[in-house]
């Protein structure tokens, strides 16, 4: 029997994710405040609804991909929350990147009503969302995780169970903090080498074959024209915006404070992206942090 999926939140990530579900022949009903995004999904074959409540009416699975924790909490919980209107045996999958405590609050509200819910933030960005090769990092009960796998596999390649509710968010935020750190570190190393007259292409090859190797060097080089088809070679357009990296780093520092975890480089990375954002770079790809380090005179 075809599963009916309600998809709420059709932004740069949610839109292509919902399209991949349609391609895999799930029945998909979508909702977003943005009418243009809804129309785009309609032409891709989705059913549409006038509001979130009607979108989820007959849904076996609800997936949400929303900008922040406050929106996720108000969508699901409270007196008008969707969890008061869902079908029996529904599975809720929230793929938004939000604070672990917000994810846990929604999961707790679901649990009190006997509703299955997992947090399932993603890694991989818009390219992976379009290609259906996202990494899903899930938190929640093992049984719910198992039930979510077939749906998540339609949108992603790696599906991980990180632990209990909120664990998906914790792992995602730790990952993105580490990403920011090695991106800045890679930019520092390449910039210092270039200042000494070394060719960033040669430097990159050397460090990829050495202990400096990391994802930024492998697939997302921040130095212009070292790699084709990355934002740095396209004036830092597209990709993962500084504004979004700043948001994730903010979540990492909230988590660090709450868990009393020492994150000295994470804290400085947060400040550096804040400075970069303050220069007006918020809409550029996050690898543009190189420009903050470069001399302009």
Q: In this complex, which beta carbon is closest to a second copy, that of residue 6 or of residue 137? A: 137
42 is catalytic: no
HEC-encoded secondary structure of 89-134: CCEEEECCCCCHHHHHHHHHHHHHCCCEEEECCEECHHHHHHHCCE
Q: Which two tokens stand for residue 243?
A: 């504004």
Among 88, 184, 187, 174, which residue's Cα sits nearest to residue 139?
174
Provide the binding-site residues for a second copy, judged by CB under 8 A.
100, 123-125, 135, 137, 158, 160-164, 166-167, 170-171, 174-179, 181-182, 184-186, 188-193, 195-199, 202-203, 205-207, 209-215, 218, 220, 252, 255-256, 259-266, 268-269, 272, 292-293, 295
Distance of closest approach, residue 281 Cβ to a second copy, in angstroms: 15
Distance of closest approach, residue 164 Cβ to a second copy, in angstroms: 7
Q: Which two tokens stand for residue 37?
A: 């995004």
Among 94, 82, 273, 261, which residue's Cα sits nearest to residue 176?
273
Distance of closest approach, residue 256 Cβ to a second copy, in angstroms: 6
Q: Which two tokens stand for residue 54?
A: 């009607």
- Contact indicator for 106, 73 with CB cutoff of 8 Å: yes
Distance of closest approach, residue 134 Cβ to a second copy, in angstroms: 10
Work out the number of other CB atoms within 10 angstroms of the CB of residue 166. 24
Distance of closest approach, residue 209 Cβ to a second copy, in angstroms: 5
Maximum Cα interatomic distance, the chain, rounded to a whole number of Å: 65
Distance of closest approach, residue 80 Cβ to a second copy, in angstroms: 31
Cα 239 to Cα 72, 96, 190: the distances in Å are: 24, 17, 20
Three-class secondary structure of residue 63 per DSSP: strand
Q: In this complex, which beta carbon is closest to a second copy, that of residue 29 or of residue 96? A: 96
Q: Which two tokens stand for residue 82?
A: 């969707």
Tell me the C-alpha distance between 184 and 161, whole Å.
29
Q: Which of 19, 27, 73, 172 is catalytic?
A: 172
- Contact indicator for 183, 289 with CB cutoff of 8 Å: yes
Residues that are catalytic: 172
């Amino acid at each position: 029997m075809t599963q009916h999926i309600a998809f709420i939140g059709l932004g740069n990530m949610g839109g292509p994710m919902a399209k991949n579900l349609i391609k895999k022949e799930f029945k998909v009903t979508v909702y977003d405040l943005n009418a243009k995004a809804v129309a785009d999904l309609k032409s891709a074959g989705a059913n549409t609804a006038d509001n979130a409540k009607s979108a989820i009416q007959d849904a076996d699975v609800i997936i949400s991909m929303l900008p922040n924790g406050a929106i996720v909490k108000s969508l699901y919980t409270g007196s008008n929350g969707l969890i008061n209107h869902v079908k029996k045996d529904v599975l809720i999958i929230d793929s938004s990147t939000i604070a672990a405590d917000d994810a846990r609050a929604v999961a707790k509200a679901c649990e009190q009503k006997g509703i299955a819910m997992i947090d399932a933030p993603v890694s991989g960005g818009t390219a992976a969302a379009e290609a259906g090769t996202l990494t899903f990092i899930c938190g929640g009960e093992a049984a719910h995780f198992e039930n979510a796998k077939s749906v998540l596999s339609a949108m992603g390649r790696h599906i991980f169970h990180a632990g209990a509710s909120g664990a998906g968010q914790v792992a995602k935020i730790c990952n993105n903090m580490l990403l920011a750190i090695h991106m800045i570190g890679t930019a520092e190393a390449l910039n210092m080498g270039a200042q000494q007259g070394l060719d960033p292409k040669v430097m990159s090859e050397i460090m990829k074959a050495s202990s400096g190797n990391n994802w930024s060097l492998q697939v997302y080089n921040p130095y212009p024209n070292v790699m084709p088809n990355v934002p740095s070679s396209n004036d830092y357009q597209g990709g993962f915006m500084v504004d979004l990296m700043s948001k994730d780093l903010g979540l990492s520092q909230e988590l660090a404070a709450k868990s009393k975890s020492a994150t000295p480089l994470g804290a400085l990375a947060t400040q550096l992206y804040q400075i970069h954002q303050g220069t007006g770079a918020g809409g550029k790809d996050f690898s543009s942090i190189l420009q903050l380090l470069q001399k302009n005179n």
